[in-house]
Amino acid sequence: MIKLFAGARGEGKTKRLIRLANDHLDITDGYIVFIDDNKRNMHEIHRNIRLVDTSEYPLSNYREFVAFVYGMISQNRDIQEIFIDGLCGIIEDLPNEDLVTVMQALAKLSDDNDVEFFVTLNCDPATLPEPVKALMV
C-alpha cells in the first residue's frame, strides 16, 4: 500500500509525515525506515526509526532509487513501513512518466514484501498523472 501526500512547499507535509512515523511506532511490530534527502529532521524522528539520509547516496534516477529501496528490504525483511520525504528532492531527475514507474515499483514491492509506503511530493497535485493522484490521501 502506498499513501501519497502532495502539495506545495510549506504546507506541513514533512511534519505530518514525521508525526505519522512516530505514532506508528506504537502500532507496528516491525521496523520503520524514514528516507530523507538530508538530516535536518533527525531530532524530531524517534530514535527507534531508522533515518536514511540519501545525500550520502546520490540517486540520479528512478532506477537507482528503486534498487536502493529493494536493497534495504533485502537486508532487513522485518521492515514494515517506509516513509519517504520529498521524493522529487531525493531523485535528481523525476519526470511524471518516471514518477508513475516509481509508484508502480513501490506498489509491487509493497505487495510482495508486505511493506507500507508513505510518500511526500513537493508539487501541485493537479499536475500529477492520474495513476499517481489515485494514491493521494
pLDDT, tens only, 15-40: 999 999 999 999 999 999 999 999 99
For residue 87, which of 63, 67, 62 has the smallest C-alpha distance?
62
Which positions ≥6 away from 21 have C-beta within 8 Å? 32, 34, 45, 46, 49, 81, 83, 118
pLDDT, tens only, 43-57: 999 999 999 999 988
| CATH number of domain containing 76 | 3.40.50.300
pTM of the model: 0.95
Range(s) of the domain holding residue 64: 2-133
pLDDT, tens only, 81-91: 999 999 988 99
Average pLDDT, the chain: 94
The model's confidence at residue 92, banded by pLDDT at 50, 70 and 90, is confident
Phi, psi dihedral angles at 100 (to 5 degrees): -60, -45
- Please answer whether residues 82 and 118 qualify as being in contact, where contact means their C-beta atoms are separated by less than 8 angstroms: yes
Return the DSSP state at 66.
Answer: H
pLDDT at 24: 97
Residue type, 128: L
Which positions ≥6 away from 47 have C-beta within 8 Å? none
Q: Is beta strand 31-36 parallel, antiparallel or unpaired with respect to 50-53? A: parallel
The model's confidence at residue 58, banded by pLDDT at 50, 70 and 90, is confident
Domain count, the chain: 1
Direct distance between the N- and C-terminal alpha carbons of the chain, in angstroms, rounded to an integer: 12
